[in-house]
A and B are shown apart, each in its own frame.
Chain A
Amino acid sequence: MSAPLLSVQNASKRFGGVLAVDSVSLTINAGGITGLIGPNGAGKTTLFTLISGFERPTSGRIAFQGVDIGALAPHKRAALGVARTFQIVQPFAGLTVRENIAVGAHLRHARRDEALAKAEAVSERVGLADRLNAPASGLTIAGRKRLELARALATEPTLLLLDEVLAGLNPSEVRDVIPIIQDIRRGGVTVLMVEHVMQAVMSLCETVFVLAQGRIIAEGSPSAITKDANVIEAYLGHGAAKRLAARDVAHG
């Protein structure tokens, strides 16, 4: 059997006295959309920075397609096929939408005209085709989230890490972006997404990992996760699961 696409084994990250990620292990196979959820401060974004290479794990192993990538710089991981978006969008503000996406496209296309053509193709997939010549600084927050997605997609990744691409969007914008993510998956890209918008997690993800205080506390289908006692406790506080169960019994 071939190696899983991504395998994180006992990864920990310590910032001074804070153990942000505490021996996390998770495996993601090629294809599909996996969710990573958890309360604020659970360590989701830190785990993303470990996988994408912006931070090195204090201990543990991160393997991509069976190769240990734990010590590689971010640009080398991007070249291997790991792309990420940023929770706080990081557009190249002085450049146009087309130029922004072309920077990502250049990873696989050395020629300028090819990269620009690729940028156009990607802009259509994320619904930015009519804004290609607009400066990135002029985009709305929804537009910037799409741009973030487009740039990462233009690197032609195998694994796409989406860090709250739906946060800050209104419900109708969320409904617009969900099909884009589904389309990306259909295009053969494996997606791992940190997300707070549960509507999206429920409709997109096949598997969900729940992180709380740096540890994985549950793993399973979205519907199973929402009934998990540990998960309810993590979100709503100690004893919440028992109280909810008691209330359900009382209300019959």
Chain B
Amino acid sequence: MTVSGARGMFSAYAPILVVAALLALTPLATSANTVLNAMVLALLVALAGQGWNILGGYGGQFSFGHAAFFGTGAYGTALLQARYGLNAYVAFAAAIGAGAAVGAAIGFLSFRSGLRGSYFALVTLAFAEVFRIVANASPFTGGAAGTLLKLDVAPGNFQFASRAIFFWIALALVTLVLILTRAIERSRFGAYLVAIRENESAAQALGIDTFKVKLQAITLSAAVTAAAGAFYAQYFLYVNADIAYGAAVSVEALLAPIIGGLGTAFGPLIGTLALHGLAEGAKALTGRIPGIDVALYGALVVLVIAFAPKGLRGLAARLGRGLSTRWAS
């Protein structure tokens, strides 16, 4: 490899490792379960958002129904263990596969019919709702009561007494997807995905099989979001239809990257940390006024869309450029 190539690799991946290393220190700074719990949840939302970002941020295909993948991951791992007695790790991997399969199926049907923009968004929303209603009604999934996993704390069961372990595993997953996303950015697949986002006709004219690329993107996107769902079920040892397939999941998955920065590797993580930090801070300051976090989410979305359409990531880059030109002059 050339020197410049090695330097490119370093500047591409080093920030990811630095951020991951810093975040990994969190459990050493605090042993408070509430903090760790909030951090695990934030990382799960970040992971779901990272999945959404592959399809929506890079590929420009806005899904309103990523709950379909999150929920399939959650129910997949729960049902395979509770009903079939599978090992937790095997169930986890299989649940990711199931989420990817659901993604491929929804993608095949939507993209084959040429659905774009708001039509694609509505169809994904409808799919997620169908999953939610079926999961809520079917005895197989435990109906409205949901599915409970047996508490049996042992590393072999993917159950740990310490929340720190869950935190580190969630962080490892987020880091893995950060690296994956960066690798996509630097690949032909990534270039094709962005080309489709920018202009699908021009992409076709340049020889891109847009159907195939979108199908690969939604499959990968669904797999990542399903991993978040599977981890969720493993962490709480419980899942029901509203948690797994509820519209709130779909909204969180798309909010994080939009706030943080669409189509950037760090966008979902930055967005989630900003949103959750703000929500937790507001709850602490206002003495837990019900719904204050949701109201703040709304306000932040409006502010970001109005003043920083490229998200916090883009805003930071803009401020950085502004400062450096001021120093230079």
Contact = CB atoms under 8 A, between A and B. Distances in A.
A102 B192 CA distance: 10
Interface in B190-206: 191-192, 194-195, 197-199, 201-206
Given A86-B201, A92-B199, A113-B5, A78 B206 contact: yes
A73 interface: yes
B204 A95 contact: no
Contacts of A104: 206-207
Interface string A224-238: 000000000000000
B186 interface: yes
B133 interface: no
B94 interface: no
B204 A155 contact: no
A103 interface: yes
A90 B191 contact: no
Contacts of A92: 194-195, 198-199, 202
Interface string A74-109: 111011000110100011111100010011101100
**Most chain A CB inside 10 Å of its own CB: which residue of B5, B186, B199, B202:** B202
B157 interface: no
A99 B210 contact: no
Interface string B1-38: 00001000000000000000000000000000000000
Contact of A83 (B188, B192, B197, B205): B205
Interface string A134-161: 0000000000000000011011000000
Contacts of A111: 188
B118 interface: no
Please tell me the size bucket of the interface on A: 20 to 34
Contacts of B209: 73, 75-76
Interface residues of B, number: 21
B76 to A, nearest CB: 34
A1 to B, nearest CB: 29
A52 interface: yes
Given A103-B192, A106-B192, A112-B191, A91 B202 contact: yes
Contacts of A79: 207
Contact of B202 (A106, A112, A113, A151): A151
B162 to A, nearest CB: 41
A74 B205 contact: yes
Interface string B200-239: 0111111111100000000000000000000000000000
Given A74-B205, A78-B206, A91 B199 contact: yes
Given A75-B210, A103-B192, A115-B191, A54 B201 contact: yes
B199 A75 contact: no
**Most chain A CB inside 10 Å of its own CB: which residue of B194, B199, B205:** B205
A54 B203 CA distance: 12
Nearest to B201: A90
A28 B5 CA distance: 44
A113 B199 CA distance: 23
Contact of A74 (B187, B191, B198, B204): B204
27 contacts: A75-B204, A75-B209, A78-B204, A78-B205, A78-B207, A83-B205, A84-B205, A86-B201, A86-B205, A90-B202, A91-B202, A92-B198, A93-B198, A95-B194, A95-B198, A103-B191, A103-B195, A104-B207, A106-B188, A106-B191, A106-B192, A112-B187, A112-B191, A113-B5, A151-B206, A152-B206, A155-B207
Given A75-B209, A152-B205, 15 more contacts: A54-B201, A54-B205, A75-B204, A78-B206, A78-B207, A79-B207, A90-B201, A92-B195, A92-B198, A94-B194, A94-B198, A95-B198, A104-B207, A107-B206, A151-B202
- Shortest 5 CB-CB contacts between residues of A and residues of B: A78-B207, A92-B198, A90-B202, A107-B207, A74-B204
Interface of A: 52, 54, 73-76, 78-79, 83-84, 86, 90-95, 99, 102-104, 106-107, 110-113, 115, 151-152, 154-155
